[in-house]
Structure 1
Amino acid sequence: MAHAHTHTPAHRTEQTNSEAVKPVSKRVAPAPAPRRARTWRLLTPWLFLLAPLALLITFTYAPIANMVAYSFTDWDGVSPELHYTGAENYTEIFTREDLFQVFWVSGYYLVASVIQIVAALYFATILSFSIRFRNFFKGVLFFPSLVNGVAIGFVFLYFFQDGGTFDTVLGLFGYHTDHAWLGTPASANVSLAGVSIWRYLGMNFVLFLGAIQSIPGELYEAAELDGAGRWHQFRYIILPGIKPVLTLTVILSVSGSLSAFEIPYIMTGGATGTETFVIQTVKLAFQFNKTGLASAAAVVLLLIILLVTWVQRRLVPDDRVDLV
């Protein structure tokens, strides 16, 4: 039987090979987005920020600007007329010794803030490990932060009164005293500073606890395999890992001690040597009708807090911590 043979033309074979080695054409770049789409893409983040920025400007920056403007006037807070007095209010603040003596009271709250940070860090470290009744103690420590500050002031006002709860507790341990805890400047300021520790301990505790629990658990396991105890874990793992939160807590505590107001105002009203700078400013504005001078005092306090914050940030920079 004869077999048929098919022959491919030479020119067709060459054409096929040339098509096989033909380079692939480059992908065509997509057409640019329309101008309207690009505009909306740029404006979308600002539209989301519009409401919070409006609230921030209305209730923060605008009042600050008005306060700075009033600090250069003699406005009494009531009269529609006010006169420009230049830097007279600031000169009075820095030349009157009694206006700056109240800053000594802030020293009690500054010491209390140190105790508060140490205690909050201690409890957060202990309760970050597995111990019995851990959730119960967390609730006990955080509970004061949920209570209204006015209620706390009235509760401790009865707590420290003569023959009150504190004297009763001391009597149970055989210590009887007729000392008026809010009757002298030293004991009153110590008592109020102690209340501030109890009041704000829970908030710092929660901040520290959250920062500690964000540290990877593998680091603790590796440290235990290397024979590291709790102290070494705290020193080399926990403390470096929570450095940003610790720096923030110190800044908030120092600024809070300089601007203490709620507890001393409710419990003593600034009497018996417990007047703070903020209480003095409020009295200048609403009791003595010196709103211009009070505004200048508020500006000075704001500048002091900003200066302290800047110094703290320079001494302890917020470096990124990488424990892994």
Structure 2
Amino acid sequence: MNLSYKTQKYMILFGFLTIPLALLGAFSLYPAAALFYFSLTDWDGIGFDQSWVGFANYKEIFTRPDIFAAFKNNLYYFIGGLLQTAVALYFAVVLNGRLKGKYVFRVLLFLPYVLHSVATVIMFKNVYHAEYGSLNIFLGAIGLESWQQLWLGNPHIVNFSLAFISMWKYFGLSMVIFIGALQSIPNDLYEASKIDGAGSWQTFRFITLPSLRKVIELMLVLTLTGALEAFDIPYVMMLGAGGTSTFVIQTVDMAFKFENFGLASAMAVVLLMIVLFFIAIQRKVLFREGK
């Protein structure tokens, strides 16, 4: 069968588009629609006995202060993420310059991101342990016994300790992203700035930062979403106990511990809406077009 060039072109385009769209519908759109449907039901997650309750689950979420109280723990991860982004940018600038052994430092700083979250948590359990933890032993060895703490037992500092683990793990990824962006900046701009007599800070402020605007925006979005969706580190380390529960941990417990999949689905939908809302606010306020 002889087909015209135009027909063949449309068939190829249709073939390449059909598979991605089918996968998108099967693994993204349909689960999202099912999640919203489940949020309107009273379902224990077993069988198909789903009682329609409308927006009763959403009403319960917004009338129970204990559910939204978990977001205060997410705030620790957001602040830690902002600090991590700033430090990662600094190290990226340093390791993008003419530094001897910079590739070794890049690998060493990126390695924590490669480690599995469970392995990372097990490692930091040995760091934070009150008796034989390496952190308290080190503080004692240098004469700072007064700084020794129950890093996982003190409710005032436990979330700082967990947020630091998240910073340590994802620092390397942020640094590598910044290094890739820095390498895309033309060297002619830096050479021209040197000719004009610009210092290191002026070069960073007027050349590097503006060139990294889109990347910084991406990193802030990742920081925000990562903080709101914090789960693996506090759950594996503490199971959400001791005032470390996050919103996602509460959602998982609501589904699998209390067998209330309807309310858990509604909490997941609310979290999605909150993430989209803050991303929209961030783009409008911090990164307005033409600013």
CA positional deviation for 1:103: 0.5
Change (3 A) 1:44 1:319: farther
Distance 1:259 1:73 in 2: 24
Amino acid of the structure 2 residue aligned with 1:291: F
Aligned pairs (5 A) from 1:279-298: 279-298=249-268
Once residues 317 and 50 of structure 1 are traced to their aligned partners in structure 2, the CA distance between those partners, rounded to angstroms, is: 35
Q: Tell me which residue corresponds to 1:108.
A: 76
Tell me the CA shift for residue 168 of structure 1: 1.2
Q: Deviations over 1:16-45 (max 9, x none)?
A: xxxxxxxxxxxxxxxxxx974213223423
- Aligned equivalent of 1:70: 38
Deviation at 1:239, TM superposition (A): 0.4
Q: Which piece of structure 1 moves more, 297-306 or 220-229?
A: 220-229
Q: 5 Å matches for 1:231-246?
A: 231-246=201-216
The alpha-carbon distance between structure 1 residues 268 and 132, as it changes in their structure 2 partners (threshold 3 A), is same
Contact 1:72 1:84 in 2 (8 A): yes
1:310: how far off? 0.8
CA pair 130-89 structure 1, distance change in 2 beyond 3 A: same
Pair 90,172 (structure 1): closer, same or farther in 2 beyond 3 Å: same
Q: Residue 237 and residue 154 in structure 1: after superposition, are their counterparts in 2 closer, same or farther (change >3 A)?
A: same
Q: How does 1:43-82 map to 2 (within 5 A)?
A: 43-82=11-50
Contact 1:244 1:318 in 2 (8 A): no
**Which structure: larger Rg?**
1
Q: Does 2:148 correspond to 1:172?
A: no
Three-state SS of the structure 2 residue aligned to 1:78 is coil
Number of aligned pairs? 288
Identity, in percent, stands at 42
- Identify the match of residue 222 of structure 2 among 252, 263, 270: 252
Distance in 2 separating the partners of 1:219 and 1:130: 17
For 1:217 and 1:46, locate their aligned partners in 2 and report how far apart those are by CA, in whole Å: 43
Distance 1:43 1:312 in 2: 41
- The one-letter amino acid of 1:75's match is W
Q: Is the 8 A contact 1:265 1:279 kept in 2?
A: yes
Give SS of 2:157's match. helix
Which one-letter code corresponds to 2:109 in the other structure? L
Any idea what SS the aligned residue of 2:42 has? Answer: coil
- Write out aligned runs for 1:41-190 (5 A): 41-163=9-131, 164-176=133-145, 179-190=149-160
What is the identity, as a one-letter code, of the residue corresponding to 2:108? V
Q: Is the 8 A contact 1:247 1:318 kept in 2?
A: no
Q: Residue type matched to 1:277 in 2? A: F
Q: How far did 1:309 drift?
A: 0.7
Paired residue type of 1:166:
L
In the alignment, what sits opposite 2:174? 204
SS in 1 for 2:54: coil
Question: Match of 1:105, SS?
Answer: helix
Residue 217 of structure 2 aligns to a residue whose secondary structure is: helix
Shift of 1:272: 0.3
Root-mean-square deviation over aligned CA pairs: 1.7
The normalised TM-score by structure 1 is 0.85
Separation in 1 of the partners of 2:14 and 2:236?
A: 42
Q: Quote the offset at 1:319 in angstroms.
A: 4.8
Which runs of no fewer than 5 residues in structure 1 stay unpaired?
1-33
Return 199-208 or 44-53, whichever deviates more. Answer: 44-53
Moved segments of 4+, more than 6 Å: none
User: How far is the alpha carbon of 1:320 from its aligned partner?
Assistant: 8.4
Which position in structure 2 is the counterpart of 1:11? none
Quote the Cα distance in structure 2 between the aligned partners of 1:105 and 1:184: 14
- 1:140-198 deviation digits (Å, cap 9, x = unpaired): 11111111111111111221111211111111211225631111222110000011100
Q: CA-to-partner distance for each residue in 1:302-323, whole Å, 9 max, x for gaps? A: 00000011111112347589xx
Runs of 5+ unmatched residues, structure 2:
none
- Alpha-carbon spacing, 1:241–1:260, altered in 2? closer, same or farther (3 Å): same
- Secondary structure at 2:208 match in 1: helix
TM-score by length of structure 2 reads: 0.94
